[in-house]
Amino acid sequence: MYQYDSFDQAMLDARIDEFSDQISRRLSGELTEEQFKPLRLMNGIYLQLHAYMLRIAIPYGTLNAAKLRGLAHVARTYDKGYGHFTTRTNMQMHWLKLEQAPDALRALAKVGLHTIQTSGNCIRNTTADQFAGAAADEVCDPRVWGEVIRQWSTFHPEYSFLPRKFKIAISAAPSDRAAVQWHDVGLYILKNEAGELGFRVMAGGGMGRTPLIAKTVREWLPQQHLLSYLEALLRVYNRYGRRDNAFKARIKILVHEIGIEKFQEEVEAEWQEVLKTFEDIDPREVERIARFFAPPPFETLPETDEAYEAALASDPEFARWVEQNVHAHKAPGYAIATISLKATGETPGDISADQMDAVADIAERYSFDDVRVTHEQNIVLPHVKKADLYTVYQQLKALNLATPNLGLVSDIIACPGLDYCSLANTRAIPVAMDIQKRFADIERQRDIGELKIKISGCINACGHHHAGHIGILGVDRRGEENFQITLGGSGAEDASTGKIIGPGFDYDGVVNAVETIVETYRSIREPGERFLDTYRRVGIQPFKEAVYGQN
Amino acid sequence: MPQVMTAYDVPTGDVVYWAGNGWTRDVREAAVFDDPATAEAVAVRDAAAQIVMDYYPIDVELKDGKPWPTRYREVVRASGPSVRLDLGKQAEL
């Protein structure tokens, strides 16, 4: 994990001192809310439905035990004893008191955490594949470049007041686990035939009221030019992005309106200009950063372990958890274990302070002090010895953290919705909970197979409903909650936008409609087909007829 | 429809309601408008004094003579998250 040096720490401390002074001036009445709002937002403090909310950055979704314990401490001391992981792999705490914010920020800074780049029209926290450094299918650890981007973009004066917020995601594996194509800039790290690494640069993806999938700006960019190319791309956006209408200000609208060819032309021309003065990152600096992400000292182990195999054979619940939540690791004898934060009856993405502390202990002991956050609101122990998996599972089970539902119908993304968010039109979490209850039978879930349901409580689409195999969008229809269902979205490497099935449903009707859709899939699927495969084969009509009738 | 004035308390961010002689956290203690202009004037005054922020009127109905929001969003603000009954005002009131 990247370690901040004394300069970083001094900068962080100075920033908190400055913000503490601004808070004092706000509390004394010297600053109005109008004056204070941009200052608090730049420090990750929003005003939400019930109170102030603190959004804490988790760069490229990487935590360690100390940081997790720091989050637990802040949750316990300055909030209500829990935190909420978001689809941007950040953590939100929904009950902050402004007068306690400086102490909370200082406690976070002690463990190298902060709220920088979690708000405002700047380049936000870069997200990455949660299996980075562990995945059997990656060409390199994408977090190295995530950190390079972080250092380049943090407080970048030219990009602090962009037309709108700007989100970057990065992956170095053919399986896209980071919804790369749904970002303002999506980066895939590839290896060419000569063994060199480079980027496929995509731009113009985004959700919200205008869902658009990113288009390729450049098929191959040698890795050493990443920053100069991003510099050029951001300049084009900064110059031509609309500032007259917030709904049309994201880069996706610019790319869509001028077309990808014109956008490419502009970026390439600008890049040639940038290269005249911009010094791309020194490979030695990349190597310095890469050392922080060096693989942990894996033992040389056989592919599997006798006791592990025996546990698989004797404990069917463990076997089920392994089958669903454990993925192949690049090092023999190790595995990647995902901790589902989607237990039935719990808010998707929520984790209590006690659970954070306990996971920190487990990570320290069994996963080389490494924990990841996923954009699907789960967490990951990336490096667990297969020989330790049963012990880890048992400890997680005791914490209600061993739900074997990864990628299944109950592994739902849900935004905070009307239960917490001041922008929401409808509830999202209760809809997720009701769907989980309806499909509580884990064997039924396993028979249904991979099915990603994503729920947003308003058009801003924080719950990624456009990318859901089944997406649910809550809208306000004349004062009543109404839920539109979309089918066929994907956030993976085969990204696609869901299509609206038909008229929306009231709160009581939406779960029934989801069940009808799922049962229709079960009745018409061919062997080996996931829900998404069946949908792509047959289209929306059979589902429409099942939900609304033939007429 | 009867209304009450709601806002957020600046130091804590708590949801508050004008009670006629100060701000309360309990919507049932809120003063129902006799005169919208007076309620607005109070909110403007206390927002200018940086005591509260983001004020606006909400519709209420009277239950046992006490105001209770009619819109679901305001019920959640007055109570707490529907998915965590142990949190928010519903846990305290």
**Residue A234 confidence (pLDDT):** 98
**Residue A550 confidence (pLDDT):** 67
Neighbours of A427 (CB within 10 A): 27
Rounded Cα distance, A233 and A249, in Å: 15
CATH assignment of A134-291?
Answer: 3.30.413.10
Per residue in A423-470, pLDDT tens?
999 999 999 999 999 999 999 999 999 999 999 999 999 999 999 999
Rounded Cα distance, A269 and A276, in Å: 12
- In chain A, where does the domain assigned CATH 3.90.480.20 lie? 6-110, 306-398
Please check the confidence at residue A352 and state whether its pLDDT lies above 90. Answer: yes
CA–CA distances in Å: residue A86 to residues A92, A127, A348, B24: 7, 11, 9, 32
Per residue in B41-89, pLDDT tens?
999 999 999 999 999 999 999 999 999 999 999 999 999 999 999 999 9
Residues of B in contact with A95 (CB under 8 A): 87
- Residues of chain A with pLDDT > 70: what percent? 100
Mark yes or no for CB contact B50/A99 under 8 Å.
no
- CA nearest neighbour of B27 among B40, B18, B39, B36: B18
**Residue A230 confidence (pLDDT):** 98
CA–CA distances in Å: residue A129 to residues A134, A186, A305, A436: 10, 12, 27, 26
**Residue A212 confidence (pLDDT):** 98
Please check the confidence at residue A245 and state whether its pLDDT lies above 80. Answer: yes
Please check the confidence at residue A319 and state whether its pLDDT lies above 80. Answer: yes
Q: Provide the mean pLDDT of chain A.
A: 97
Contacts with B, A 327-346, CB within 8 Å: none
**Residue B92 confidence (pLDDT):** 81
Rounded Cα distance, A103 and A16, in Å: 9
The alpha-carbon gap from A419 to the nearest alpha carbon of chain B, in Å, equals: 5
Position A112 confidence tier, pLDDT thresholds 50, 70, 90: very high
Q: Can you tell me the ipTM of this complex?
A: 0.96
Residue range A413-548 forms a domain whose CATH class is: alpha beta
Mean pLDDT to the nearest integer, A130-134: 98
Long-range contacts of A394-398 (CB under 8 A, 24+ apart): A395/A358, A395/A362, A396/A339, A396/A362
Whether residue A374 contacts residue A62, with contact meaning beta carbons closer than 8 Å, is answered with no
Please check the confidence at residue A502 and state whether its pLDDT lies above 80. Answer: yes
Per residue in A358-412, pLDDT tens?
999 999 999 999 999 999 999 999 999 999 999 999 999 999 999 999 999 999 9
- In chain A, where does the domain assigned CATH 3.30.413.10 lie? 134-291, 413-548
Chain B contact probe: residue of A35, A39, A49 with most B CBs at under 10 A:
A49
**Residue B39 confidence (pLDDT):** 87
Mean pLDDT to the nearest integer, A411-416: 98
Position A96: which residue type?
Answer: L
Per residue in A155-180, pLDDT tens?
999 999 999 999 999 999 999 999 99
Give me the architecture of the A306-398 domain, per CATH: Alpha-Beta Complex (3.90)
**A318: helix, strand or coil:** helix
Chain A contact probe: residue of B15, B58, B73, B89 with most A CBs at under 10 A:
B73
Whether residue A270 contacts residue A235, with contact meaning beta carbons closer than 8 Å, is answered with yes
**Residue A81 confidence (pLDDT):** 98
Please check the confidence at residue A551 and state whether its pLDDT lies above 90. Answer: no
Domain A6-110 fold is Sulfite Reductase Hemoprotein; domain 2 (3.90.480)
